[in-house]
Amino acid sequence: MLSRRKFIAASGATLALSLVSPKKASAQSLRLRRDLTTMAPNDLFFQQYAEAIARMHQLPERDPRSWRNQAIIHANFCPHGTLDFLQWHRHYLTFFEQICGQLIGEPNFALAYWNWSNRRGRIPEPFFADNPLNVEFWNDPSNYNSSNWGPINTVGIRGLTENIGVQDFRGGDVFTEDEIERIRRNSNFNLFSAELEGTPHNLGHVLLGATNSSPPFGHMYNGLSPLDPIFWLHHCNVDRIWAEWQAAGNTTPSNSTEYNRQFVNAEGDLVRVTANDARDFTAMGFTYETTLSDLTSPIVLTLEGTELDAPLGFLPEFFASADVGVQELGKADNTEVSQVDTATSISVQANNLLTNLFGSHTFRTNSFLGTPRIAVEGDRILAVLKNITPPSATDDAIVVEIFVNCPYLSATTPSNDPHYAGTFSFFGQHKQGMGKPEFVIDITDPLRYLAEKGLLVDNLVNIQLLPLAVVPEGRKQASFKVETIEIIRA
C-alpha cells in the first residue's frame, strides 16, 4: 500500500492533479509582455521603448505623461510593505505602457519583463549603449522632496554592467528560478506578496542603485527609481510572477483601496481605480508569454520524475490528510541592534517543530505544460521578521543574510552554507509616515539539514541576522533592529 509518508518525501517531491484552465481572452486581443533577456539585440522592442522614453522627455514640463512626472507618481504615492503593493504597481505599469504606445503610435506596444533568473540576471547590452535606454544618457536629476519619501537626491548611474548580473552579487541566489518557484508555491497571498517584495524586488532595487557605499546612490535606490528605464522592466517581472501565481489558481483577496487621481491614462487624463481593479490582468489588456496556455492534461502523479499509478480512492484521502493553513509555532522578542558584518542571534522556541517540518500541504502550480494543477509538497517553515526599525536614509546600502543555528557564522560565511536560509534588503522602508516593515524568510532547508544531522535540540531555532555592505570597501555604517520574530508553518 502506498502510504502518505512514503509518497511525499522530505526532499519536496510533489503530487500533482491537473485542473481545466478557465477560458481566457484571445491572445490576439492582449498586449504580450515578453522576456527581455531572450530578445535579439535587433528586436523591435528596444527601438520602440527607446523612442517612447525620448518622446516622454520631449513633453512639456506640465504634461503629466512626461518622464519626470511619471517618476514623481511613484515618489508621491507608491505603497511598499503593504497588502496592495502588487496591485498599485500593476496599475502603474499598465498606464505607463499605454502612454508609451500612444506616444509612439503603437497601441499594441507592450513592456518586457527583466527575467532575473536567466543569464544570471544580466541586463541586455542596449541598456548600456549610448541611447535613451541608458540611465546615464539622460542624466536626469532627482532633487525632489516627496511627502511620501522625504528629500530624494539620487543620480543616473547603475550598479550593474552588461557583464555583471544580479546573481553575481552576495545574496544573488534569491533571483534563481528555484527561489522564485519557492515563492510562487506559497498559496497565502499575504506571505507570497511579502516574500516577493522583500527579497527579489527589494534586492534588485538596492543592487542596481547602490553604486557607492553611501549616498548619493543611483536612481533605483530611492523613490524616483522610475527615472531609470530598467525600473519598469524590473517591476514587470515582479508582476509576471504574480500573474503566474494567479494563473495557477491562487486567489488574491479583495482590497477596496482607492487610487483616486494618482495615475493618468494615455491621453494624460487623471483616472480613478481601485486595488480590486488590478486583480484580473487580462481584463487590463495584457498577458505574459508564461501565462498563455489553453492546454489541458490528465491526472499525473509525479515522484522525482517517475510517473506512478495510484488508485483513485487514494487521492481524496491524500488531500484530506495534507495539512493546510498557517500555524504559529513560536515567537520571540529582541532588543539587540544589528550592525554591519556582525551577526545578531534571536532564539525562538518552536513547538512541535519536527512534526510540522515533515508534514505536507497543497499548493497550486501551472508548471506542467502551463496547465494549472493542485500539488502537494512538504510543509514550509517560515520566519516572519516584524516591527523592524530600518536603517536611516543616510546609512550605507546593505543586504541582510539569514542563517539558522550556525555555530561558526561570520561575515565570510558563504551563502551556499547549509545553515543559510535567504536574504532580504531594505527599499522604501524609511519612507515618512510608514509603519514598521516586515520580512518573510523560508527557513525550511537549513532546518531539514539540521534535523537530518540530529542537530535540532529542544525545538530551539536560532535565527541569525548578518548585515553586509553592498559595497564592501565603504564605511560599513548601517544599523537596524528586528523587535519580533515569529516561526510559522505554511
Instruction: Specify whether the CB–CB gap between 421 and 443 falls below 8 A.
Output: yes
By three-state DSSP, how is residue 208 classified? helix
**Helix axes of 230-247 and 189-196: crossing angle, nearest 10 degrees:** 160
Task: Spell 135-164 as b/e; 16+ CB within 10 A means b.
Answer: bebbebebebebebbbebebbbbbbbeeeb
Identify the DSSP state of 66: S
Give the whole-angstrom CA distance, residue 258 versus residue 254: 12
CA distances, 242 to each of 28, 120, 226, 235, 311 (Å): 22, 21, 20, 11, 34
Q: How confident is the model at residue 437, as a pLDDT?
A: 86
Give the whole-angstrom CA distance, residue 421 versus residue 184: 17
Q: How confident is the model at residue 429, as a pLDDT?
A: 54
**Helix axes of 67-77 and 85-104: crossing angle, nearest 10 degrees:** 170
Instruction: Specify whether the CB–CB gap between 318 and 7 falls below 8 A.
Output: yes
Give the whole-angstrom CA distance, residue 221 versus residue 223: 7
DSSP β-ladder status, 300-303 and 306-307:
antiparallel
Residues 6+ apart with CB under 8 A from 42: none
Residues 6+ apart with CB under 8 A from 383: 348, 402, 421, 440, 441, 443, 461, 463, 485, 486, 487
CA distances, 213 to each of 153, 159, 208, 249, 316 (Å): 15, 11, 13, 43, 56
By three-state DSSP, how is residue 469 classified? strand
Instruction: Specify whether the CB–CB gap between 81 and 434 falls below 8 A.
Output: yes
**pLDDT by residue for the chain (490 residues), tens digit each?**
333 333 333 334 444 433 333 334 455 589 999 999 999 999 999 999 999 999 999 999 999 999 999 999 999 999 998 999 999 999 999 999 999 999 999 999 999 999 999 999 999 999 999 999 999 999 898 989 988 888 899 999 999 999 999 999 988 999 999 999 999 999 999 999 999 999 999 999 999 998 877 778 999 999 999 999 999 999 999 999 999 999 999 999 999 999 999 999 999 999 999 999 999 999 999 999 999 863 232 223 333 333 333 333 333 443 344 445 789 999 999 999 999 999 999 999 999 999 899 887 777 776 544 566 777 778 899 999 999 999 988 888 999 999 999 999 999 999 999 999 999 999 975 565 566 889 999 999 999 999 999 999 889 999 999 999 998 887 788 999 999 999 999 8
pTM for this prediction: 0.87
Q: Any idea where the domains of the chain sit in the sequence?
A: 7-19+299-489, 27-291
Instruction: Specify whether the CB–CB gap between 94 and 284 falls below 8 A.
Output: yes
Give the whole-angstrom CA distance, residue 70 versus residue 224: 9
Domain 27-291 class in CATH: mainly alpha
Q: How confident is the model at residue 302, as a pLDDT?
A: 35
Give the whole-angstrom CA distance, residue 73 versus residue 231: 13
